[in-house]
Amino acid sequence: MIRGTTVPHAGNITMSEAQGPDDLSAAPSLLVKALRQFTTLMQDEIALARAELSRSLSKAGVGLALIGAAAILALVSLNVLASALVAYLAASGIGLGTAALIVGGALLLAALILAFVGKSRLGADALVPSRTAKNLQTDFDTLKEATNG
């Protein structure tokens, strides 16, 4: 049959419109198009990951600066309070050196507890770009389904 003629039993569809899977002339352009779309998708996902990481790091930086300022103020306050407590214990009849050791030991214990609790709350989970990971998994699942289906 000659191209451009009507195919019997196919209505008014011409041969050029009714090309089946045996016609591979369009395959290279489809492959190029698919590769361009895949490249664009990966670039978009990388841009999303960068944006999420930047936002997470900005939040972490501001948080750390505030914690640093609070720590400086807390040290000054603790110094004043520790001096007052040592003076009170010394006035109660305990020797000055013993009072200083008691207060210093209690403050060191409190500092260690706070440090361990703070360290346990700083984890890699807070900096993971979860949306990007979810999107990439969805993209790969979709590609896998499209190539197998």
Q: For residue 63, what are the contacts with CB-CB under 8 A and spacing of at least 6?
A: none
98: containing domain: 56-148
Place 127 in a pLDDT band, splitting at 50, 70 and 90. low
Examine residue 3 and state whether it is found in any structural domain, yes or no. Answer: no
Is pLDDT at 73 greater than 90 in this prediction?
Answer: yes
Q: Above 80 in pLDDT, residue 98?
A: yes
Residue 5 has pLDDT above 70, yes or no: no
Contact in structure between 32 and 115 (CB atoms under 8 Å): no
> Tell me, what's the pLDDT at 139?
82
Q: What is the DSSP letter of 7?
A: P
Over range 116-127, report the average pLDDT. Answer: 74
Assess contact for 109 and 100: CB atoms under 8 A.
no
Which residues is 6 bridged to in the sheet?
14
- At 49-65, the pLDDT tens digits run 888 888 888 888 888 88
Residue at 121 is within a domain? yes
Mean per-residue pLDDT over the chain, rounded: 80
CB 139 within 8 A of CB 45: yes
Tell me how many domains the chain contains: 1
Residue 21 within any structural domain of the chain: no
The pLDDT score that the predictor gives to residue 119 is: 81
Task: Answer whether residue 146 shows pLDDT above 60.
Answer: yes
Residue 9: pLDDT band with limits 50, 70, 90: very low
Give 132-144 pLDDT, tens digit per residue: 778 888 888 887 8
User: Above 80 in pLDDT, residue 14?
Assistant: no
Rounded Cα distance, 111 and 32, in Å:
61
**Is 123 inside any structural domain?**
yes
Total Cβ atoms within 10 A of residue 7 = 13
With a cut of 80, say whether residue 10 has pLDDT above it.
Answer: no
Q: Which residues pair with 14 in a beta bridge?
A: 6
Rounded-to-integer distance, Cα 98 and Cα 91, Å? 12
Q: Say if residue 21's pLDDT is above 70.
A: no
Residue 72 is assigned to a structural domain of this protein: yes
Whether residue 33 is contained in a domain is answered as no
User: From start to end of 8-143, where are the E strands?
Assistant: none
